[in-house]
Structure 1
Amino acid sequence: MVTPFTETGGLDLDGARRLAARLVARGCDGLVLSGTTGESPTTTDAEKSALVRAVREAVGDGVPLVTGVGTADTRHTVELALEAEKAGADGGLVVTPYYSRPPQEAVEAHFREVADASGLPVVLYDIPGRTGTRIEPETMIRLAGHPRIVAVKDCSYDFLGIQKVLERTELAYYAGCDEHVLALYAVGGAGYVSTVANVVPDRVRAILDAFDAGDTRTAARLQQRLTPLIEAMMSAGLPGTVTAKALLSRLGLPAGPVRAPLRPASREAADGLRAVYEEFVAA
């Protein structure tokens, strides 16, 4: 979920409540707050906790809330995990420590320390394109033995490695890249954590519903139909946060500006996104 801001750049908790309620009403089983799309690098610790509390108030206790607690600093990550637990989160999304590029032994120790620190289940976030460091499959397999390390948000683009981990562990794998929603689900994934679903939650959900119903042909067609919108939002030169907020704003939904260093989409880019969206929903 994006993190809505006011026009002056403050945290828009009312907008967050409304957006969260809409996403759940339109098919999201749970919500991930303060992830990459949620602009976690530019929200404060207090804002992250306030966001969890506000969204919990909006969606109730029956909707799982996972919140990003990962940083480049193990101590800070532990602090955020403890605060997330107090705020009412159901799980912590923990990204691989970035910039310092720790070796695998240190990556594993980082995740274990965070998982030991609180009672929250941990979702490992493997996105080497942003962090510079992969969670290698063998590291993932060892980490799966920890009782509170239960899931993975995958943006590794290593489909063979994913299947190795799926075959040898009980980790719940979630596609973190929208183009992999169906592909990962078909080989045993648990679902997806989607940026595009900020805009069309029911259409992304429909892919997995069709697969669950045994209609794999329809599932494939729905994934293919989504491809132009995925490309426009995720592979056209702008971060997904920027494109999602541009589209949400054009649709009159809570979003607001992005925080620097991100910059808003240009009018031309926003017009192009809206055109792709309109063509998609009309199909």
Structure 2
Amino acid sequence: MPDVFGIHDHFGGTMTEVYRGVFPVAPTPFTETGQLDKEGQKRVLDCMIDQGVDGICILANYSEQFLLADEERETLARLCLEYVSERLPVIVTCSHFHTDIAVQRARRAAELGAAMVMLMPPYHGATLKGTEQGTYEQLARVGDAAGIPIMVQDAPLSGVNLSVPFLVKLAKEIEQVRYFKIETPMTADK
């Protein structure tokens, strides 16, 4: 396999599985009383699998991650990873502005069997913007702790502009950074 953008094997001489294709974000259904709809979540996952997706991303922004309590995140992660099991790879979003929490989330996702974790830059709100250096440090710590591939989410929501040279630096210097989700205006310019 070619060494694209300096991404090379850091895992003992054999290339880890390369993921390609469509990995939609699974929405999180709730009951009319605001509780997690576990059976509804299974139906969502089955629907996606039946449509022929290549993998599924859970606990992302579209999954209402900012509304979920820690116990609900744990319940959903366990339910989705166990339910999808060996059928498809699952990406678990572990974004948080507090690096220790992002590390804990990523470590737990790996323990539960996630194929990969996804993180956007540490976000602090509209007027408190993080930095590329802070993003680098968080991704490095998460990578060391989780030991599974990381997808970097270049998300406008974070308020941090990730430059192309910085993305290349991440790919070259942090072993687990393997994928990028670019979702900004003018994406084609990147």
Residue-pair matches, total: 161
> Per the alignment, do residues 137 and 161 of structure 1 end up closer, same or farther by CA in structure 2, a change over 3 Å counting?
farther
- The structure whose Rg is larger is 1
| 2:92 is the alignment partner of 1:92 | no
Please, which runs of 5 or more residues in structure 2 have no aligned partner?
Answer: 1-25
| 2:142 is the alignment partner of 1:114 | yes
| 2:167 is the alignment partner of 1:140 | yes
| 2:100 is the alignment partner of 1:75 | yes
Question: In the aligned structure 2, how far is the partner of 1:158 from the partner of 1:147?
Answer: 28
SS in 2 for 1:3: coil
One-letter amino acid matched to 2:31: T
Give CA-to-partner distance per residue, 1:96-120, whole Å, 9 cap, x none.
1112312222221121111111122
SS in 2 for 1:37: helix
Task: Name 1:57's counterpart in structure 2.
Answer: 82
SS in 2 for 1:133: coil
> Among 29, 40, 45, which residue is 2:54 paired with?
29
Give CA-to-partner distance per residue, 1:210-264, whole Å, 9 cap, x none.
xxxxxxxxxxxxxxxxxxxxxxxxxxxxxxxxxxxxxxxxxxxxxxxxxxxxxxx
- Percent identical among aligned pairs is 25
Q: What's the TM-score once normalised by structure 1's chain length?
A: 0.54
CA contact (8 A) 2:130 2:159 kept: no
CA contact (8 A) 2:122 2:134 kept: no
One-letter amino acid matched to 1:74: T
Question: In the aligned structure 1, how far is the partner of 2:35 from the partner of 2:90?
Answer: 22
How do 1:160-171 and structure 2 match up within 5 A?
Answer: 160-162=188-190
> Per the alignment, do residues 79 and 6 of structure 1 end up closer, same or farther by CA in structure 2, a change over 3 Å counting?
same
Question: In the aligned structure 1, how far is the partner of 2:171 from the partner of 2:138?
Answer: 14
Question: In the aligned structure 2, how far is the partner of 1:46 from the partner of 1:156?
Answer: 31
SS in 2 for 1:67: strand
How do 1:196-275 and structure 2 match up within 5 A?
Answer: none
| 2:41 is the alignment partner of 1:13 | no
Question: In the aligned structure 2, how far is the partner of 1:35 from the partner of 1:46?
Answer: 16
Give CA-to-partner distance per residue, 1:152-191, whole Å, 9 cap, x none.
11112243553xxxxxxxxxxxxxxxxxxxxxxxxxxxxx
- Measured after TM superposition, the shift of residue 55 of structure 1 is 2.0
Please provide the CA RMSD for this pair: 1.5
SS in 2 for 1:97: coil
Question: In the aligned structure 1, how far is the partner of 2:99 from the partner of 2:46?
Answer: 33
Task: Name 1:39's counterpart in structure 2.
Answer: 64
Task: Name 2:23's counterpart in structure 1.
Answer: none
CA contact (8 A) 1:134 1:156 kept: no
Question: In the aligned structure 2, how far is the partner of 1:59 from the partner of 1:19?
Answer: 11
Question: In the aligned structure 1, how far is the partner of 2:83 from the partner of 2:131?
Answer: 41
Q: What's the TM-score once normalised by structure 2's chain length?
A: 0.79
Question: In the aligned structure 2, how far is the partner of 1:73 from the partner of 1:161?
Answer: 30
